[in-house]
Structures are given as structure tokens and as C-alpha cells.
Structure 1
Amino acid sequence: MIQLKTLLVDDEYSAIEGLRIRLEEFAEINVIGSASSVDDAIQFLNEHEVDLIFLDIEMPSKSGFELIKHFQPETCPAVIFVTAFHQHAVRAFEVRAIDYLLKPVKLTRLTEAIDRVVNNVKLYQKSELIEVQQEIDKAEESIFEKSAQSDYKFDDENLVIRDAKSPIQIIPFADILWIDAAGDYMCVHTETETYVMRARLKELESNTLPETFLRIHKSTIINLEYIKQLDPLRNSEYMATLHNGKTLKVSRTYSKHLKGLFK
């Protein structure tokens, strides 16, 4: 039987305890912790592996949506929003929440939401689908390579993004904190801006980014100059904290190399 390691996030203690009691009826759910704020949740997630989060939206200081921003692409646990405010529903599904429950939560809706999570987990555990996805990725890569000329180029000190619909953007490598993948596009993050360009991670690496850039995840490249500290997680993974406070997960595949650079 699938058993999901679950985190409850809500600023109201009574809401957490009420939900915890209801979840005891579901063998698929293993509540391993709770948090009363986004910052507490981030700290918990840095130290524990979590499959599912029941997440309140309206909380002091930071909303539940701020927690979603913490995750890198493809690393976000399943999320079920639990809130008293229905007006957030559209945005919840825009960030790919599994479900959206209104307080007070009805048992029938809670059951439906958990069934949906379990079915999603089963779906992604099937090796056949993994093989199909690999074939899809290869096909997409082939199509991408045959598409129009790339809209970016490198010079000695800059990444130059060209887009017919907007002015040419010149981004000094020294200003780039990290780059992450979003399908056929890359998000280039500086201290103040995020630039989007059409490219693949492999393509960026093959174009020889400066030596200060290192891949830390299958979807992320980081500028080593901006790393403030590395904190160990479970399973030989690390959490890299940048000078601006942003945290990025370093997967086990790349952690040994990165750690070696800081000895």
C-alpha cells in the first residue's frame, strides 16, 4: 500500500489538529509533521522528505503560494490547498495543486482529494510511463533542434537574448544567480529580474557557460559565486543558500562534485 509522508501547514493550531485527526482514518496518509508558517514549513522540508502537503493559503507574513515558489521544477510534493476563501481556487490550480478544499472540510471531499493524490502517485510509479516519457523527451528534443534559430548567444562576458517581440537583452554572466528549466524554455534569474528564453539545459552546457556555473540538479544550473552556504539534507542531498536568501536543492547526482569545490 502507498503511504504518503504528509506535512500540514496552517497558522491555526486547531485547524492542524482537526485535520490530523481526520487523516488518521486514511491508511495512505502518514502525517510526519506540521508547521504554522511558510518559514517553518521550509525549514521542515529542508530536513525531511515529504510526499504531500496540506497547505493553508491565508497566513501571516507569507501566503501558502510563497511556499510553492520555494520548490524547483519537478521537485514539488503533491499539494492540497485547504482554505476558507474560495477566491483563490483558480490560482491554486494554476500552480498545479492536486485539489482545493474549503474549510470546514467535508469528509467526502477529503476522501476524493486523497484518492486523487494516490492515483497520481501510482501513475508516475509505472515504469511503462517512464519509458514513454523518455521517448517523448527524445522526440521533443529532436523537434526543438529542427526549430528556428536559437534566440540567444554568448560573448565573453554576457548572455544575449534575442526575441523578435522585445528588445535585445544583454545579461552579464556576473549578474546571473541561477538558471532553471521550464520545458523548452529557461528562466535566467538575476538579483532583480527573471528573463525567459527558448533553450534546453543541455544546449546551455554545450555552449560552455563560464566555469563559475555548475549544474546542481537535472533542471538547475547555479552561479557558484553567489552560494553563501551548503546545508546537508537526507540521502546525500544538499540545500544551497544564495546571498539573497534563495534556497536551491542540490540533488545527490551532483552534490559530491559541488561539495568538493568548497573543501
Structure 2
Amino acid sequence: MISFRNHHANRRFWGFREKFNFVPKMRKIRTLVIDDEPLARARILKLLQSVEYITVIGECKNGKEARRQIENYQPDLIFLDIQMPDLNGFEVLQDADLTHRPFIIFVTAFDHYALKAFDVRAVDYLLKPYDDDRFFKALNHARQQILLKDQATLHQKIVKVIEAYEHQHSDNLSALEIRDKGRTFLVNIQDVYWIEAEGNYLKIHLENQKHLIRMTLQSIENQLDRNFFFRIHRSVLVHKLYIESVAYKGNNQYLFRLKNGDKVMSSRSYKDQVTRYLESV
């Protein structure tokens, strides 16, 4: 679900790009070469020497060494042989502890692995023997995929900066002051999953915590951004971004399951608000 605020920040981002003709500069692609045959590794390394946007960060002669270097160096791109004596290429990817998955060009003498290679989202499949043109076609394809990923990442970062700026200059409530066991601290309003009225107090439900503050539900509702929070019950406000699912339970009532596992039931009198939410997602 894209909020109004996020949509506005996206428009601001694309306006920024258009106004300044902004195109992200292609960075060096950190590349790892993995093949148990020395001559095969040497050929790939020689071809990569002529490519200015490639930085070779290492070469590996077996699967265990490959797994260790992938985990340690987190390459952007790997040239990966499939048939190796200890671990094959698929086992290397399966066993590696990755914070991000590199782009993969498989290099092998066996064509029957092709379908399985694309199951693990390989960007290309070089069948030995291959000529230079085929090699550089695969490399350029990988480069385009990496550039698209980088542009998407940069876009997300700029959108977050714009959202943070707009949030700081908004009249909406941005944080709640919590007093608990003699200490006072702030909770970001965007970390609140739902809010429950209990007399003259509110129970603030976070992902794994709950806090009480002295305030009425009507008072806090007037200060919240309606693009994020809405009321589903006389005593309950829910953050839209944390809604996992909504199930109709009959009698104009809906069960909201939140991403932290909490379940909240709407009341019949708020059926219209729930319906509008469901139509918007």
C-alpha cells in the first residue's frame, strides 16, 4: 500500500531528477570469479581486465572457498561454475549466509542445468566453450540489472529523506512521550501498531510492547495523520501500514490481523470507515 505522503515524496523525487537531469553514476561492480579449472578462471579474469566498471575482488577454486568469500566480501556479481568437486554452484548459493544476494552468471559445460540456474535468478548462463562476444553480452546484461537495482535503492533513500523532511514540518503528531517506572522517553508515532482507549488513558501497542499514556482517543486522533491511522471501533485506532489481513466476520464486523500477531475486531458502527479502507488497498 502506498500512502499519500509516500506518493507525494515519489513525485518530488521524479521532479528532482527531471529538473537536474540527474542520472546515478555507475559505480564499480565488485566481482568474484568461481571455477575449479585454473584456465577457465584465467580466461574470465583476462576478459574482465578490459572492463573499466569491473573490480575483481577475488577468485575461488572450489565451493567452500567460494561460500566463504561470498559471505565475507558480499560481491555484486559472481561468475559461478556449477560442477565443482566439493560443493556445486547451487549448493554454494544455498549454504551461503547472505545479507544480499549477488547477481549470478553461471559458467558451465553442461546445458542441462539451464532451467535450474534461472530458478535461482541467474542473470545469464554461459555454456562452455563461449566466445568473447557472448561473454560481454552476458556481462552487459548483468550490468543493466545492477544499475536498475542501484537506481531503485537510490530512489528509496531519497524518498525517505523527503518524507522525513515533510514529517518534521508537518502539524501532525510525530512522537509520544511515555513515562514508565520513573523514566521518560519518546516513541515514534510510526512505530505504533494500534491504539486502544481505556477510560481517560490510552494503551499504545508497539510491535512487542505496550504503554499507557493519559490522553483521550479523540484528542490523539485529531493530531494523527489520517493517511496512516484510522478508527475501526469507538475505542480503537489502527495504523494502516501494520495491517496484515482483514476478514469479514458477519454482522458488519471485521477482524484485523496485524503484522505483530495482534487481532482487533471492528464495530458495526465503523463499517463505512472499514469499507473505505478496503476499497483503497
TM-score w.r.t. the length of structure 2 is 0.47
TM-score normalized with structure 1 length = 0.50
User: Which structure's residues are more often helix, by fraction?
Assistant: 2
Radius of gyration: which is bigger?
2
